[in-house]
Structure 1
Amino acid sequence: MHSVLKAVVTLSVKEPISNVTLRANATDLVELNDTAIFTCSVSSGTSLSYRWMNGSSEVAASDRVRLGVGNSTLSIVSVTRYDEGPFRCEVINGISNGTSQPIGLKVRFGPERPDVTSPDIAMTGHIVTFNCSASSQPPSQFSWFFNGSQMATGSVYKTGPLTLASHGEYTCVAFNNITYRNSTVSKMLTVVAPITSVSISTSGNQATEGDSFTMTCNIVGDPSSIHWWKNHTSVRLDNRTHVSFDNRTLAFNPVQHSDYGEYQCMARNSVSNRTSTRYTLLVNYGPKQPVIAGAPIAETEQRVTFNCSASSQPPSQFSWFFNGSQVVTGSVYETGPLTLPGHGEYTCMAFNNVTGRNSTVSKMLTIIEAITSVTVKRNKLPIASDNLTLTCDVTGHYDTIYWMKDNLSLVLNNTLNSDITISNNSLHFSPVKVSNDGNYQCVATNLFGPNTSPKYQLLVNYGPLSVNISGPGLVVIGSVITANLKCSADSRPTSEYWWKYINQSLPVTGSLMAVGVSLKNAKIYTCVAKNCLTNISMSKTISLDVTGHSPVPLFQSRGGLMLMGLVALSLPLINH
């Protein structure tokens, strides 16, 4: 018997999808209060699969999103503003598909916490506008409260002109008449009176060094801070410079001269600031120890001016004392022509008639006798080979003396040698020489400078030296009538001359003698030269030879002087 195998085939027949429809239980919802339920249905179709879309995104199940009845329903619990859609459902069965028309939700929410825009600080007299806004659907209604009391409604609140009483808490209340919810926010407005005037006053007394002194900053307005300045720099506080708790007073205890300067106080608050005009603090002080300006040494007949000064506020008054006795008032004291008794102590006293204090200082004035004349004197006539002393004669007080020759210092010119010495105020020549000729001066010095004598011309007398006779040694009778003999000698002053004929004196003076030419006059002639100052004489002899026949008398006459045929011509004698 044969077995028979049978196969059973199940045939599934699907019906196409048509008319996909989406319904919602409600579309106007309150955020966090309501649940949205969507139901997707078709007019025809079998073996259906559902997919939900929110906009272009597929909806997935979550704590708030639930799918039911084969995913044909979508429930959103506690809807939010972000669940507004649009929602669609898509249906698929393998042979067809369909998509519903979208449904959107209107979710009412809010108000969120309001936001208030307004200044935090304002000046009295100003008007402030508050703007309140809050995220809400539908838009909120607004109410305004000041320090708990309702003031106005609307999103904008404008104050009247502010006063200090306007300072406080401003509250905006936002209300949603659909959600029946409200939200509030508060803002503090600080109202400040602007600073309109700042000035500095003092206690009325003058500032005196060593005493206490206080300055006060007077302010019209409401300052939040006060600051003090000195000469554009912040005042430095120390153990004697203090400010009060509110900085309104600046105190010096004690005040010092160094506190002098220009002071200002500056008041500031959040809406304004002002600075006072400059107050110059003059600190009365002193006098400090005076200072005397003036020469410490003077010569007789001079006038000396002393100037006294002292650091002091106000300026000091001055009095002068000489050796303890008052002589004059004022900062300047000019002496009369000084004499030696003017030597002594000059005292200046400075007095401050505000502080009531005084201070003194003394200065010694030394007076020396002025040099009134300087001259060079000699002890005797300067004669060569004798000792000679030149003395510097000084009238007045001197410290040193030095000598000059021909405008050059004797020491600096290196002219001193073993024959010349200087001792005290004298210049000694041992002996004096012709080489010492020159213009000599002595210079007497003291603290006031050099005083130079007039020039003394030193001319050393000497001679005669080197007597010479010039003239012919031989003459021919008839060639000349006379033979001229001339005598000369080196001498100062110029020597006197006379002549001798065969050792017999002739009455002839002068350096020139004319001898008549004859055989009898051919003899030995001698010239004698004598310096009357040095008292020295020196002679020279010459032999005159004559040849030929004498056609003329032995005695000749020239110039009216005739002796033994000899004629003498006299020359002037020059003495020094």
Structure 2
Amino acid sequence: MIFTTTMSPTEKPFSSVNWSFNVSTPIIIFVINAENIIGPEYEGRITFFPSTASLELRSLTLDDTGEYTVNAVHDGTLLNGRTTLVIHEKVSSVLVNSSSTDLVEFSGSVSLSCSASGPSLSFLWLNGSSEVTASDRVQLTDGGSSLTIITVTRFDQGPFRCRVSNPVSTVISDPVNLSISYGPENMDLISSPPQGYFAVGSDISLTCSVGSRPPAHFKWFLNGDQLPDTGSELRLMDVQMSQSGNYSCQAFNSKTLRSQTSQPSAITVLGEPNLFSTDLVEFSASVSLSCSASGSSLSFLWLNGSSEVTASDRVQLTDGGSSLTIINVTRFDQGPFRCRVSNPVSTVTSDPVNLSINGPENINLILSPSQGYFAVGSDISLTCSVGSRPPAQFKWFLNGDQLLDTGSELRLMNVNMSNSGNYSCQASNNKTLRSQTSEPSAITVLVIACCVIVAAAVGGGYYIYKKK
């Protein structure tokens, strides 16, 4: 510390200078051309500057607080001055204590006290990086060293720090965090996939999200009845129609002792359409297809392939469109039929169902080789093709007499003349109980003729011998 006078160095030195502490304690007595007199408390602690009468004081202690006076004689004139020095101790030992660190939002209060060593202390509280100021919920007492928060909220978790200052130093305490339990609140029940209608066999995930500290415990309910599942997620795998209903979750906080229940989430599992009578006879049978599904506000639409089925003389749509009746079915009624069930929030289409309706019809008998005349010893194949569902059963006839052969192909190997005649095939359908016979195919087996001619001149004539 240097006590600086307002004097500037001059050609004439000071005749004498006397520095004193609190008037009565001499610091230094300077007399020109004489030895300086230094007070015993200041030995080794001061430096005197004769040209300006200034004084440097070192190794300050609290005892150096007080009034300093200087009297000087310069060129016959008495000069004097005085000043006050205050020595402060640095702030130390800053500590924050809390009445509690485990609190419940809206139902608890907390008091924080800040202690420190040092004089002339001032206190300031910080929540994170923001200064804490007094309000309806916040009280600052004991010169700012005590902080009381009434009806704590989650925003009062901290970290809280106490900043203690005096004119020469500032010290900030270690942080103190409050554990403030809150919730459950802002509950939301999320379904994934998000639609409310699902096909039988689907996998569904329900997730319950909620704001809670500490984390909430969960219960699940279906139509108000508690399920055994716990945890924030409920997984429904391979769902069936019996699992349709209103699902809800309840969250409970073991600290706040509060609970909250979600709004119900409706899940409807749609059954696949039930289709009947798929084995039919064209022109002589009718079929009824019925479509069943779970849910509300359902509408039904039938598809034959990609085309919508509409009512006509042969087609009846009843029971709100859920039942389809086809009278005197034809092959064009084979499908595939699908039932599309809709409501305002979802659409589900059934698996396809095909109807079995066919023949026999369009029978055709094919001869290979295709000529109608064959040499003795030839191999001949006759093939009977026909449209039929299910596949037809075959009979073969020669000149109206049934042969032993069956199957769609008749093979004649190494034929002779006895194999000649009119061949036909008959196809039968054991479902439609109908049969159809082909047009006859004529097969003629010929013996190839061989001639030997012998000629001789007998009396100017000839003789021919013919042998078969």
Q: TM bucket by the smaller chain?
A: 0.5 to 0.7
Partner of 1:277, secondary structure, is: coil
Aligned match for 1:340, one of 227, 231, 242: 242
Partner of 2:17: 142
Larger Rg: 1
Deviation per CA, 1:99-127: give whole Å up to 9, x if none. xxxxxxxxxxxxxxxxxxx45xxxxxxxx
For the Cα contact (< 8 Å) 1:227–1:265, is it kept in 2?
yes
Partner of 2:147: 250
Matches within 5 A, 1:27-426: 118-119=1-2, 137-154=12-29, 156=48, 162-176=60-74, 179=76, 181-204=77-100, 206-210=102-106, 211-223=108-120, 225-235=122-132, 238-244=135-141, 246-288=143-185, 290-292=187-189, 308=208, 310-317=210-217, 331=231, 340=242, 343=245, 346=248, 348-353=250-255, 355=256, 357-364=257-264, 371=271, 378-383=277-282, 389=287, 391=289, 410-411=306-307, 424=322
Closer, same or farther: CA 173–207 of 1 in aligned 2, 3 Å: farther
For the Cα contact (< 8 Å) 1:313–1:352, is it kept in 2?
no
CA distance in 1, matches of 2:224, 2:386: 72
Deviation per CA, 1:386-431: give whole Å up to 9, x if none. 666485788x8597888899xxx534xx999999979546585965
CA distance in 1, matches of 2:395, 2:434: 11
Deviation per CA, 1:224-254: give whole Å up to 9, x if none. 5433323234446655345448332333334
CA distance in 2, matches of 1:542, 1:135: 151
Question: Relative to structure 2, which stretch is displaced further, 261-270 or 294-303?
Answer: 294-303
Q: Which amino acid aligns with 2:80?
A: T
Partner of 2:427: 531
Closer, same or farther: CA 299–222 of 1 in aligned 2, 3 Å: farther
CA distance in 1, matches of 2:311, 2:219: 59
Partner of 2:144, secondary structure, is: coil
Give the Å deviation of 1:183: 0.7
Give the Å deviation of 1:257: 1.4
CA distance in 2, matches of 1:474, 1:160: 144
Q: Report how many aligned residue pairs link the two structures.
A: 398
CA distance in 1, matches of 2:235, 2:278: 42
Partner of 1:93: none
Q: Which amino acid aligns with 1:195?
A: V
Q: Which amino acid aligns with 2:24?
A: S
Give the Å deviation of 1:358: 1.1
For the Cα contact (< 8 Å) 2:69–2:81, is it kept in 1?
yes
Give the Å deviation of 1:322: 6.5
Task: Structure 1 unaligned segments of length 5 or more: list them.
Answer: 1-117, 120-128, 552-576
Give the Å deviation of 1:318: 5.0
Task: Structure 2 unaligned segments of length 5 or more: list them.
Answer: 31-47, 49-54, 451-468
For the Cα contact (< 8 Å) 2:360–2:428, is it kept in 1?
no
Closer, same or farther: CA 480–340 of 1 in aligned 2, 3 Å: closer
CA distance in 2, matches of 1:278, 1:334: 40
Partner of 2:36: none
For the Cα contact (< 8 Å) 2:243–2:269, is it kept in 1?
no
Give the Å deviation of 1:467: 6.0
CA distance in 2, matches of 1:526, 1:283: 104
Partner of 2:213, secondary structure, is: coil
Give the Å deviation of 1:275: 1.3
Partner of 1:312, secondary structure, is: strand
Give the Å deviation of 1:265: 2.1
Partner of 1:461: 359
Q: Which amino acid aligns with 2:213?
A: Q
Partner of 2:183, secondary structure, is: coil
Closer, same or farther: CA 420–172 of 1 in aligned 2, 3 Å: farther
Deviation per CA, 1:438-458: give whole Å up to 9, x if none. 9x47578897976646x8585
CA distance in 2, matches of 1:152, 1:382: 134
- TM-score, normalised to structure 2, is 0.61
Closer, same or farther: CA 276–457 of 1 in aligned 2, 3 Å: same
Closer, same or farther: CA 203–138 of 1 in aligned 2, 3 Å: same
CA distance in 2, matches of 1:207, 1:169: 53
CA distance in 1, matches of 2:111, 2:351: 68
Deviation per CA, 1:183-220: give whole Å up to 9, x if none. 11112212111112222222347444334433233221
For the Cα contact (< 8 Å) 1:345–1:362, is it kept in 2?
no
Closer, same or farther: CA 300–346 of 1 in aligned 2, 3 Å: farther
Closer, same or farther: CA 172–330 of 1 in aligned 2, 3 Å: farther
Percent of matched pairs sharing the same residue = 16
CA distance in 2, matches of 1:415, 1:329: 45
Partner of 1:78: none
Partner of 2:211, secondary structure, is: coil
- TM-score, normalised to structure 1, is 0.51
CA distance in 1, matches of 2:379, 2:17: 164
CA distance in 2, matches of 1:249, 1:268: 15
Closer, same or farther: CA 282–223 of 1 in aligned 2, 3 Å: farther
Give the Å deviation of 1:526: 5.4
Matched, 1:516 2:413: no
Question: Relative to structure 2, which stretch is displaced further, 193-202 or 327-336?
Answer: 327-336
Partner of 1:222, secondary structure, is: coil
Give the Å deviation of 1:141: 1.0
Q: Which amino acid aligns with 1:149?
A: S
Over aligned residues, Cα RMSD in angstroms?
5.6
The higher-RCO structure (CA 8 Å, 6+ apart) is 2
For the Cα contact (< 8 Å) 1:467–1:489, is it kept in 2?
yes
CA distance in 2, matches of 1:291, 1:322: 16
Matches within 5 A, 1:527-566: 529-533=425-429, 535-538=434-437, 540=439
CA distance in 1, matches of 2:443, 2:191: 85
CA distance in 1, matches of 2:124, 2:169: 14
Aligned match for 1:496, one of 383, 395, 407: 395
For the Cα contact (< 8 Å) 1:267–1:275, is it kept in 2?
yes
Question: Relative to structure 2, which stretch is displaced further, 481-490 or 312-321?
Answer: 481-490
Partner of 1:251, secondary structure, is: strand
Deviation per CA, 1:16-46: give whole Å up to 9, x if none. xxxxxxxxxxxxxxxxxxxxxxxxxxxxxxx
For the Cα contact (< 8 Å) 1:309–1:331, is it kept in 2?
no
CA distance in 1, matches of 2:66, 2:395: 138
Give the Å deviation of 1:491: 5.1
